[in-house]
Amino acid sequence: MTIITTRAEVSRDRWGRPLIAPPGGGKPVPYQRTTRFVAALSDTYSLSQWQRRQVATGLAARPDLLLAASTADPTDKAGLDRICEQAAEAAGAKRAATVGAALHRLTERVDLGQDTGPVPEAHRADIAAFQRETSGLQVAAVEQFRVNDELKVAGTADRIVRWRGKLHIADVKTGSVEHDVGRIAMQLAMYAHSVPYDPAVGERRPDPEPVDLGSALIVHLPAGEGHCELIWVNIREGWEACQLAAKVWAWRKHKLRDLTAAFAA
């Protein structure tokens, strides 16, 4: 069976939003990124606190960055952002993300039948566990770009897999899945309610058969643990949350004039 994958680069605007041709044709318009859309309902307090601690740790480890911060113009937001980013990196904040992204690419090569090349010893057991646990799934698509025209949201689904005659969205996660499982359910639900889009020609193409709208799969592959687990996700609930998120985003667009009026005695 031919495995579908989106090979063409997706054009984006200066904010990183994908530019999508309207269904009837015409000039591409920005769609919201799926990961951004589903974040509307996330509780980011713990993540924000962790990021602050990483910046503090990084500044303590890098006197040069501390000096740069102390002499920076307080109004130079971009410059201060760069210093904070460097400090977080010095604290190792991006280490897990870097490892996760690399492991993710290795699983893509496995599912596409490509040579993985030399796999570092620390992660050979990870790849072996991935191959063993997913052997019963038939991969239909890898890294497939999909769009939802109703909500104007677009993003890339890790996998479309066939299990017992049905197509399901599947997502490879190399970190914790407990922190924000609601967001994950929303993300996979959005992919299930979207259609394949070819950015090379700006065309939507139907799935070969309907994608299941009730359940999706997390392929949990925690980096460095040599363990892989398949987890079912209720995306029916996730889709209901997406409807709520759409209302939240609509509410955030209100301006002062939309909700206020001049006082009249």
Would you say residue 260 lies in a domain?
A: no
DSSP-derived secondary structure letter, 8: S
187 and 209 assigned to the same domain: yes
**Is residue 1 scored above 70 in pLDDT?**
no
Separation in Å, CA 13 to CA 19, 35, 72, 169, 202: 7, 16, 29, 27, 16
Average pLDDT of the chain is 94
Tell me the pLDDT band of 46, cut-offs 50, 70 and 90. confident
234 and 160 assigned to the same domain: yes
Mean pLDDT of 116-145: 95
Tell me the pLDDT band of 11, cut-offs 50, 70 and 90. very high
Boundaries of domain holding 124: 4-42+95-252
Would you say residue 150 lies in a domain?
A: yes
Which pLDDT tens digit goes with each residue over 179-227?
Answer: 889 999 999 999 999 999 999 999 999 999 999 999 999 999 999 999 9
Q: Specify the pLDDT at position 212.
A: 98
**Is residue 57 scored above 70 in pLDDT?**
yes
CATH of the domain at 120: 3.90.320
Q: Specify the pLDDT at position 129.
A: 97
159 and 34 assigned to the same domain: yes
**Angle CA 220–225–229, to nearest 5:** 25
**Is residue 37 scored above 70 in pLDDT?**
yes
**Is residue 93 scored above 80 in pLDDT?**
no
223 and 114 assigned to the same domain: yes
170 and 244 assigned to the same domain: yes
Give one DSSP letter per residue of 162-191, joined into a string.
EETTEEEEEEEE-S-SSTTHHHHHHHHHHH
DSSP-derived secondary structure letter, 123: H
Q: Specify the pLDDT at position 190.
A: 99
Give dist(CA 104, CA 223) in Å, integer: 10
Would you say residue 196 lies in a domain?
A: yes
64 and 136 assigned to the same domain: no
Give dist(CA 190, CA 239) in Å, integer: 7
**Is residue 150 scored above 80 in pLDDT?**
yes
Residues written for the chain: 265
170 and 139 assigned to the same domain: yes
25 and 146 assigned to the same domain: yes
Separation in Å, CA 223 to CA 99, 169, 172, 173: 7, 21, 11, 9
E strands within the chain? 4-5, 19-20, 29-30, 32-33, 138-148, 153-163, 166-173, 195-198, 203-204, 215-220, 229-234
